[in-house]
Structures are given as structure tokens and as C-alpha cells.
A and B are shown apart, each in its own frame.
Chain A
């Protein structure tokens, strides 16, 4: 009946900024960015290349009636979204929702509860991170429609294959929540999830075309280094040769690092504010925001023009007298070098790890921002963990140590041969060069090169669209990826209770790392007995660095060796003819869907009954 999708839409739902791209079959450079229609101010609408993932909750009557209504909305929405929301909300943080995405992957707070704006005194009208994500996606969907109308495209959203990107660090719960937000936003049930660093890699493949095969060679390891406004995401992709063809395989993903370009601009602004205060000049909150913005531009100007010693900065006062109230300062190159280059991208030894936040004492709930701002250490930690992950799996060990690279296994970390940069932070060549020098310093025997050719702001959206197109046409290079983590269910320890002694929780591997999309696994050698007519709960764990585990592997101390993901729960109805509270034998099945989400269910032995296991994100 249906002919399948006619084109692909890539959605980069970013922590701070979102972007859109479309790809149609038969076009040479296949993906095209979509300008996003959004409210630019009261009574004003227009298009921008990106869309701030921010929501502002106006007070009733704060703006003229209907002046914040996007053209597709029937009535004025409770929240205004986009760049204007972020600008307005910066002056009223208790009415501003940002970083909703990071909350989806944070397990101390239930992301389906209305908790945002975080820390706000607003009693009602708060919103959940899930709902905020839905609102962004709904806006992006309508912006897509508006773009098609503006450009006279016959394409409709009904014919589109949507690819939505998620951080590589997202665990299964965060992915499920993202997919749910997409469904709730009306994007349909078959939205494909794609890891952001992979999307950046697809954008590179798309921009280079068939020549990509000349830019990498078998045995290469490519680091995708994605530093966005508020988050950092790493992935490693291995290049291998199988029966004469080059193949790509994503072998390791990083954790969710809450550190990015915004931290850099803030660090500069704090420094300059200190200098102004020494001169007896006080900045109000609004002026400080202007200073942060000015620091970002000054930073880019200094990186761009190597011969400038400093960039003057002017901060206007809030009143209308520009000449009397403007404060002057300058961003000197020495400060830029010491704060950004030597601060965030210091030359650190490969064995140095990021400082952890002291665990003693009470800590306020909230997003776990990094305690250590030195990105070099986070990168080293990722590459060292990647090496552990590879060593845990014979298949990955063979892949990585092949092509005469057995030396890799004896190093401190898995050093890449090439780096693909993504995110606005890496627009200046100085910072890209710095990271290349840093990586080179960790193994001086081999060179490191940069893979160039993609736009750092729009690459993820474009890559997502390009990937969607390969799904439609079946043509084009693909990265073998599969599950980025292995997953485990907790088993109650079967030992007699001993007062004062908490026996370690064992866990059983149910999904191995790298499990392919579209495949199914059964935990064959373990049978569970389920009480009918009850709710069953399990503890659920994951690990990004245990590539060697296979289905059925038992972990003796789950709390020590694994990360707890969330609870799993399942309602088992009473079965007719068996009566209440009977034990039925079941086996655990796991399937990784083509769309990139995990399904877990219990299959009754010798009967068609099956019960889904659902993630339980409630906390406390």
C-alpha cells in the first residue's frame, strides 16, 4: 500500500542548540540544512540555522497577546521556545528551561516528573524533561513543514524517515525516553535513533563522497571529538578491511560529560569581570551576560587573527545612554592562551585522570557538572577505558591489534590515528591543532591527522539525514555499531542473612555490547520462575567497557563493577486455568530493534504468553 519513505529528515536535538537537515535521493551531496522558523521576539518571526533548546515561561500579560504564537499554533503556547526564549530567560532563570536533554540521562531524578525549571520557586506549570523534549521536537517538526512550504517541496512529513540523534553516552533508558518524546511529538513510531558522533562521521562521509576510502586505511582508529555548548561526547571508530572492502566499526563510546564551550566563555568572562572589579567597575547580571557573549566573539576573533595581541571589549550599560555608560576592557591573547588552551586543553600525561567531586558530605541534587574542567584528562580517561574495553573482547582485540598494531595493547590508552572534530568549539584551527598535538604526545612514534570537511554546527543534523537516506536507498557506507553497552539484570543473592553483612548483588548479562540491530538474544541456560498475578521488579545494570561479556556471563559484584541504570518492572497477569499465584517457567529474551531501542521480555516456556519488561525511572 505505502511505497516507503521518500526522503530523510535528520534532527539534532542538542543540549543547548538543535538543528535540522533533509536528504533526498539522487542528489550528489545529499543532505541540506533546514532553516528553522521560530519566534525571534514579541510579534516577530523568522528563520535561523539553529534553534536554542530552551523554553521560557512568560508571566501572563508579560508580552502583548498573541505576539509569541508561532504561525502553526492555534493559540498562544504556555512556553515560548528557541533563541528568544534563551535570551529572555537569561534574565529570569526561574522561568527558563535549559539542558532538558541532560536530565533524561540523569538517574537521581525522575525525568517524567515536572521538575524544570530546576530549582525554580514556580509552584505550578513546571515541566518534565520529557515534555520539554517533546515540545522542541514538535517545534522542529512544524519548522520542517514550514520549510517544505517555503521551498515549494512536494514532500510531506508523512513520507519522511526521521533520524533523531542522541549522545553516544545515552543509556537505554535515556534512549527510550527520547523515542517516547518523538512519538509524543507526532513523529511516528519508527523514528531511528543515531549516536551523535556517528552522525558527525556520516556527515564527513557525505561531504567527502567516495574519496573517503583514500583518507583512511585499514587499521586506522578514528576519534570523533564532539564538544558542544554544554556537553562533550567521544567515540572511537575502527577502520578494517574485510574481503577487499573497507569497513567501519564503532568500538567505544564515552560517558556523558557535562563540560563544553559555554564553560570556556564563562571562564573568560569571570576572569575579565575580576579585572573590571579591581578597577572599581561593577557589572550587573545583565552586563555579565553581555560580557560572556562578547568573550565568545573576542575569543573567535583572536583565534582567527593570529597577529592580534588583544581584542577590545565594550560592555554597554542597560540604560539608553551608550556613550556615558559603556565599560571598556580587552581580552588579551595571554589570557586566552592560559585559560582556554592551557586550561581546558592542557598537555597532560596519558595516565592523569580527571579529578572527581569529593563524595563526602551532602551534595545538592542537580546535574552532575564536571569537577575537572581539563578536557585533556577526560579524553585520556576515555581512551584508557576504550583500551580496557577492547582487551575484554577477543574480537575487538583482533580488530585493533591487526595490521601490525599489536603495540597498541601494551600502551596506557588506545591512541587514535585520526581525529574528526565536531561542535562550535573547534571552529578555531588553534584548538583543533592543540588536540592533535595532545593526542600525538601520547604516542610520539606515529602521526595523528585531522579528517576535515564538515560544518561543526550542522554536521550532526546533516549526518543524521544522510544516514536516513542510506536506510531508504540501501546504498552508502555504514558504520557497524550495535549496542554501545552491555546490559545486566540483578539477581538476589541466595545466601542466608547475616546481620551487618550486605552480600554483593550478582548480575547476569542479558545484552552483550555490540549486539546487532535487528537481532535477538535468549538467555538459554537460565530459567526464571514467575509468580502470576503480581508485579515483578528487577535491578538493571549496564557497562560501556565490558565488550567481552556474552549473554549469561555472571558478574559477582554488580554494584562495584557495573553502573545501575534503572529498575525494570513487569506486570504478570493471572493466567486462565492456572489460578492466582502460580509459578510459571519463563526465559528472558532481548531484542535490539532496527530503530536502535532495546526490548526485553519474558517468554513463557512452551506457550505463546510473553510479558514486556519496562524501565522504571521513578526514583526514591
Chain B
């Protein structure tokens, strides 16, 4: 990975060095051409010095990358130490990353496909609800409830923030405003005496399925494929 990344960098450094050398040649030529003009000469000298300094810096960088590249190449070519006498079990493969970096939105898309696959969530939302009786909607809701519940519990294992609704409680100074959303007529400062109107939910864990491949999300991505029976 590292060597693959540095290769273009080395090329860029080489090109920059080349450009810097041309630049210094051009400015030197300009300097010679304008000999005698005091102020301008001073200015051009400064530019030349800067260009040379830059060239030197790039040169050093390029040399460094070159040397490192050679060293990498050598270490790759070096023979591996011979295997120890057959261990009881095969040596571990180099650990491969289990978590792949995913495209923004891909986890949300995956959760949505799960909710559809297990709980027919998209079917439920996209169906025309006005055309059916409450009984039909209710029967369908059971399907959605059973499947989506499984997905949500697996992914988040929700548990309440406040234990009992409609109970009174006191929020002491320094309470976590992320845990309790204060609504209604609020006095100037805590402690607040409040009634729990909704117990809130928190996730015991966040365990979302991950994408096997870190591909870009295509245009109009698939939520669930159309199913065709053979």
C-alpha cells in the first residue's frame, strides 16, 4: 500500500525539481540580461535564491523518497526467514482489515435493505394505504413489526433512557442535555422538576452490517433486487 502511494509522489517531486531547475536557468538568464539595473537586480537575485532553495528542498525530498523506495524494494526482495518446524496449526495470515471504510450513506442503505428484507419496511411505506381497511393494514403491520423488530434489536438493542413515563423527576445542575430534552415552560436554571412525557430510547450497542466491498454508491442504488423465480 505505502509503496503504491509514494510512487506518484516521487514522480511529482521529480517533475517539480525539473521545473525548478528550468525556472532558475530562466531567472539566471534574465539576471545576466539586466545587469546594471540595481533595484531590479536585487529583486531578481532574491527570486533566484528562492528558486534555488526550493530546488534544493525538492531535490532532498526526491532523494529521500528514492532511497526509501529502493530500501522498500530491497526488503521485499529479501528472502523470508525459513518456516519454523511445523507448528501445531498453520501460522496466522497477516490480519486483514475487517472493517472496510464505507462510502457515506452506504450503512443507511444497508440498514434500509435489511428492514425491507426482514420486515418488508419499504413495501409497507410505499404501498397505497388509503385503499385498504384497518384490518388489512393491521395484519400487514404484524409482518413489519416482527421483521423490523428483529433488525432493530440486533443492530441497536434499544433500552429506555428514563425508566417510567408520567413519573416526576428532578434534573440536577450539570445533567446531560443530550439525554433529556426539556420542553414547556422552563425556569431560569436547574434543578428542574419535570414529568417524563416520553421515556426516550438509547442503543445498548450499534452493530450495523458492513459492506463487503467499499464500492462507490451507484446512481439509483438497489435497496432490494427484484425477485424472479426460476
A158 at the interface (CB under 8 A from B): yes
Of A184-192, A495-503, A532-540, A594-602, which binds chain B?
A184-192
Cβ-based interface call for A149 (8 A): yes
CB distance from A139 to the nearest CB of B (A): 14
Within 8 Å by CB of B210, from A45, A149, A186, A190, lies A45
Contact with B along A413-431 (1 / 0, CB 8 A): 0000000000000000000
Asked if residues A322 and B144 are in contact (CB atoms below 8 Å), the reply is: yes
Chain A residues lying within 8 Å of B113, measured Cβ to Cβ, are 41, 44
Instruction: Mark each residue of chain A from 38 to 58: 1 if its CB lies under 8 Å from any CB of chain B, else 0.
Output: 011101111110000000000
Known pairs A188-B89, A189-B88, A324-B132; A66 contacts B212 (CB<8 A): yes
Give Cα distance in the complex from A224 to B67, angstroms: 68
> Which DSSP category, helix, strand, loop or mixed, fits chain A's interface?
mixed
A37 and B98 contact, CB distance less than 8 A = yes
Contact B208 A316, beta carbon cutoff 8 Å: no
List the count of A-B residue pairs having beta carbons below 8 Å apart.
107
Q: Please measure, in the bound complex, the distance between the C-alpha atom of A400 and the C-alpha atom of B124, giving whole angstroms.
A: 62
Nearest CB of chain B from residue A84's CB, rounded to whole Å: 10
Most buried by B among A67, A189, A318, A321: A321
Asked, given contacts A45-B210, A46-B207, whether A323 binds B88 with beta carbons under 8 Å apart, the answer is: no
Interface residues of B in 85-121 (CB under 8 A from A): 87-93, 95-98, 100, 110, 113-114, 117, 120
- Bound-state Cα–Cα, A157 to B96, Å: 15
B140 at the interface (CB under 8 A from A): yes
Compute how far the CA of A297 lies from the CA of B146 in the bound complex, rounded to whole angstroms: 9
- The reply on B211 being an interface residue by CB < 8 A is yes
Tell me if A156 is interfacial: C-beta within 8 Å of chain B. Answer: yes
The interface residues of chain A lying within 8 Å CB-to-CB of B137 are 323
Q: Bound complex: CA of A327 vs CA of B142, how far in Å?
A: 11
Q: In the complex where A149-B98, A320-B127, A321-B123 touch, is A157 in contact with B209 (Cβ < 8 A)? A: no
The contact size tier of chain A is 35 or more
**Shortest distance in angstroms between B118's beta carbon and chain A's nearest beta carbon?**
10
* Interface assignment of B219: CB less than 8 Å from any CB of chain A: no
Chain B neighbourhood of A313, CB < 8 A: 142
Nearest-Cβ distance from residue A172 to partner chain B, whole angstroms: 23
**Given A186-B89, A318-B227, A322-B120, are A46 and B210 also a contact pair (CB < 8 Å)?**
yes
Instruction: From known contacts A186-B89, A188-B88, infer whether A314 and B207 are also in contact, taking CB-CB under 8 Å.
Output: no
Known: A67-B213, A322-B120. A157 touches B89 (CB 8 A): yes
Q: Which of B90, B123, B212 contacts A322, CB < 8 Å?
A: B123
Judged by a CB distance under 8 angstroms, whether B126 is at the interface is: yes
Asked whether, in the complex, the Cβ of A44 is within 8 Å of the Cβ of B88, the reply is: no
Partner of A326, one of B88, B89, B139: B139
Q: Does A149 lie within 8 Å of B143, measured CB to CB?
A: no
B136 within 8 A of partner (CB): yes
Asked if A69 contacts B212 (CB within 8 A), the reply is yes
Which 8 pairs of residues, A with B, have the shortest CB-CB distance?
A46-B209, A314-B142, A188-B88, A188-B89, A323-B132, A322-B140, A328-B139, A314-B139
Q: What are 13 A-B residue pairs whose CB atoms fall within 8 Å in the complex?
A: A37-B98, A41-B114, A44-B110, A66-B212, A71-B212, A158-B92, A312-B139, A316-B140, A322-B124, A322-B143, A324-B132, A324-B136, A328-B135
16 extra interface residue pairs, beta carbon distance < 8 Å, beyond A45-B211, A328-B139:
A37-B98, A41-B113, A41-B114, A46-B209, A66-B212, A71-B96, A71-B212, A149-B95, A189-B88, A318-B227, A320-B126, A322-B124, A323-B131, A326-B136, A326-B139, A326-B140
